[in-house]
């Protein structure tokens, strides 16, 4: 085969490998994404637990790059502190060695069988878990098929003296191999691909440990590129998280770079097969580096803060929470949308409390504050709507699709509630400016119905924040009461009009206030129904922000 054919086959093998990684990671995320979310956010300040967390998360997604991007997003959203993130990062480096170990098992002969079984399971079974396990198997088969294509061309390259000479230089001058591994990994943004290729080269006898080890070390530096790109435009803590990953790997590589010969001697005793030796070298490097540097986490953080100085700047949390980095893991992205919707409900509740105070004692500053909050609710509505739209285009489970659909309805109800409150504060302002007086009975009725709606918001907040069905049912009872009370008050109003006790301008404001109060009840009723009809959404403890 000519050199052009070799290149084409090799590029095709890389494409199949990366696509297989994507398919397998996506299937694994669907099976265990909710666990990943809990694993990352429940990481404590205990370095060992953080390390285990990083290892587990990376083993689930089979990509340290994806986990580091998610981790940077969590730090940026202040859901994980910088100290917690460092130990997690250490664990991701160990977790990423799993792929190379799998490749070294020589199960490539089963690649087509995996692809076939995985394809039929994913496309023809209705059971979701079977479908996603099929996707995992399909992706794994593509990884091995890609490796088969690359290995075939690598075998041909053994006859090319120029290529052999170049690879030999990596053994003679390790710095060349280190740079090559870092650059290639930085370009493809997958250390798993680089290490798997090096394992395959070893299995084909194209490369020895002397040349393989520098390439492996370089891959550990190149894998930090994704995190560095991801931290652009984030908070200072998020930037420091990305740089911690870079410095950690650079320090680890520096430690091993100067002891490559004895390191190779140790690795040679771990297995008889060269491919397995290379995979073991990758694992040993990351495990030993983590063990040595774990006690030095405080010093590593101090170093990063010296090199990346600056006070933490408060960011616009409306944009900050809905970080696009989370879109790669829908379970986490959905919870971020949920957290933002929670803020929308709380802000609307505050607006209503301000409305009650405004009706009792009109103040221009309070009027302006309510309008400002309403604009914020509108902006949040647009952002959440856009975020959910982007998320809906991802590969989702049926439950995730149902959550997105429900959230679309909820944010619409919240936005319309904000509009009703805005209209009511405008009515209150008009009432104040024109010195419109309600009768004593009418004033008490508006106040009484407002207090009932306020009680409704208490239950809605509790129901939403705790996903509490009991509070949701209480909200429905209160909403029913609002309808009954409004009808009763309208009868009272009609009698007052017949008796000539109500001025026309007062009547207009009174009936409009009651109508919009009742509409607030309707929108809250819709939110309560979402909770009651979807009791299993977000089961478990909700996340709470942590200080960086």
Distance CA 288, CA 120 (A): 42
Residue 363 C-alpha from the chain's centroid:
42
C-alpha pair distances (Å), 243 with each of 69, 71, 89, 250, 324:
12, 13, 11, 10, 20
Beta-sheet strands, E only, within 194-265: none
CA Rg value for the chain? 30
Q: Show pLDDT as tens, one digit a residue, over the chain (548 residues).
A: 556 666 677 678 778 877 877 777 677 666 665 565 556 666 555 777 778 877 877 766 666 656 666 676 667 666 677 777 888 888 888 887 877 777 676 656 678 888 899 898 888 887 878 888 888 888 878 877 877 776 666 555 555 556 556 666 777 788 988 998 888 888 877 777 788 788 878 877 778 888 889 999 998 888 887 777 766 666 677 788 888 888 888 999 999 999 999 999 999 999 888 888 998 999 999 999 988 988 888 888 888 888 877 654 443 334 345 777 678 778 778 888 998 999 999 999 999 999 999 998 999 999 999 999 999 999 999 999 999 999 998 878 788 889 999 999 999 999 999 999 999 999 999 999 989 989 999 999 999 999 999 999 999 999 999 899 999 999 999 999 999 999 999 999 999 888 887 788 889 999 999 999 999 999 999 999 999 998 877 654 344 444 33
Please count the residues of the chain.
Answer: 548
Distance CA 98, CA 273 (A): 17
Region of residue 78 (left: phi > 0; alpha: psi -120 to 50; beta: else):
left
Q: Is 204:151 a contact under the CB 8 Å cutoff?
A: yes
Give CA angle at 139 (137, 142), nearest 5°. Answer: 110
C-alpha pair distances (Å), 341 with each of 199, 387, 403, 420, 470:
47, 12, 12, 18, 20
Domain residue limits, the chain: 3-307, 318-533
Q: How many helices (H) and strands (E) does the chain have?
A: 23, 0
Of residues 175, 259, 260, 247, the one with CA closest to residue 218: 175
Residue 112 C-alpha from the chain's centroid:
33
Distance CA 116, CA 134 (A): 9
Residues 6+ apart with CB under 8 A from 336: 77, 321, 322, 323, 326, 387
Q: What are the respective helix, strand and coil percentages of the chain, to the nearest 5?
A: 80, 0, 20
Distance CA 542, CA 520 (A): 27
- Superfamily assignment of 318-533 in CATH? Phosphate transport system protein phou homolog 2; domain 2 (1.20.58.220)
């Amino acid at each position: 085969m000519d050199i052009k054919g070799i290149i084409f086959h090799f590029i095709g093998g890389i494409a199949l490998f990366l696509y297989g990684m994507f398919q397998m990671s996506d299937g694994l995320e669907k099976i265990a994404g909710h666990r990943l979310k809990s694993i990352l956010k429940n990481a404590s300040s205990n370095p060992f637990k953080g390390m285990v967390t990083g290892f587990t998360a990376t083993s689930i997604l089979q990509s340290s790059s994806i986990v580091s991007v998610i981790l940077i997003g969590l730090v940026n959203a202040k859901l994980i502190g910088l100290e917690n993130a460092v130990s997690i990062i250490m664990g991701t480096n160990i977790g990423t060695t799993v792929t190379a170990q799998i490749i070294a098992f020589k199960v490539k002969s089963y690649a087509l069988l995996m692809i076939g079984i995985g394809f039929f399971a994913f496309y023809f079974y209705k059971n979701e878990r079977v479908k996603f396990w099929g996707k995992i198997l399909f992706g794994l088969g593509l990884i091995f098929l890609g490796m088969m294509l690359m290995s075939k061309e690598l075998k041909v390259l053994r006859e090319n003296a120029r290529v052999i000479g170049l690879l030999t230089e990596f053994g003679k001058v390790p710095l060349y191999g280190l740079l090559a591994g870092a650059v290639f990994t930085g370009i493809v943004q997958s250390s798993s691909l680089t290490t798997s290729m090096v394992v395959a080269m070893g299995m084909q006898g194209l490369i020895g440990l002397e040349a393989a080890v520098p390439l492996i070390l370089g891959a550990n530096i190149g894998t930090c590129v994704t995190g560095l790109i991801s931290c652009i435009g984030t908070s200072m803590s998020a930037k420091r998280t990305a740089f911690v990953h870079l410095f950690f790997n650079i320090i680890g590589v520096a430690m091993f770079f100067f002891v490559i010969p004895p390191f190779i001697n140790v690795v040679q005793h771990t297995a008889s097969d060269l491919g397995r030796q290379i995979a073991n070298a990758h694992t040993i490097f990351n495990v030993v580096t983590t063990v040595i540097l774990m006690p030095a986490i405080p010093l590593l953080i101090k170093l990063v803060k010296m090199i990346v100085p600056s006070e933490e700047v408060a960011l616009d949390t409306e944009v900050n929470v809905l970080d696009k980095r989370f879109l790669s893991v829908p379970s986490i992205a959905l919870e971020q949308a949920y957290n933002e919707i929670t803020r929308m409900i709380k802000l609307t509740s505050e607006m209503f409390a301000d409305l009650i105070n405004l009706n009792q004692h009109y103040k221009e500053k309070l009027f302006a504050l309510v309008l400002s909050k309403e604009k914020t609710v509108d902006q949040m509505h647009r952002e959440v709507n856009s975020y959910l739209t982007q998320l809906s285009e991802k590969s989702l489970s049926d439950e995730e699709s149902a959550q997105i659909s429900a959230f679309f309805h909820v944010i619409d109800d919240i936005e319309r509630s904000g509009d009703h409150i805005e209209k009511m504060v405008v009515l209150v302002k008009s009432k104040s400016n024109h010195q419109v007086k309600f009768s004593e009975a009418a004033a008490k009725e508006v106040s009484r119905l407002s207090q009932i709606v306020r009680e409704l918001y208490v239950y809605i907040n509790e129901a939403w924040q705790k996903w509490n069905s009991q509070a949701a049912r209480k909200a429905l009872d209160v909403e029913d009461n609002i309808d009954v009370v409004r009808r009763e008050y309208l009868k009272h109003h009609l009698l007052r009009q017949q008796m000539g006790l109500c001025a026309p301008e007062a009547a207009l404001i009174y009936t409009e206030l009651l109508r919009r109060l009742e509409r607030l009840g309707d929108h809250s009723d819709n939110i309560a129904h979402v909770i009651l009809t979807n009791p299993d959404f977000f089961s478990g403890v909700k996340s709470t922000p942590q200080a960086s």
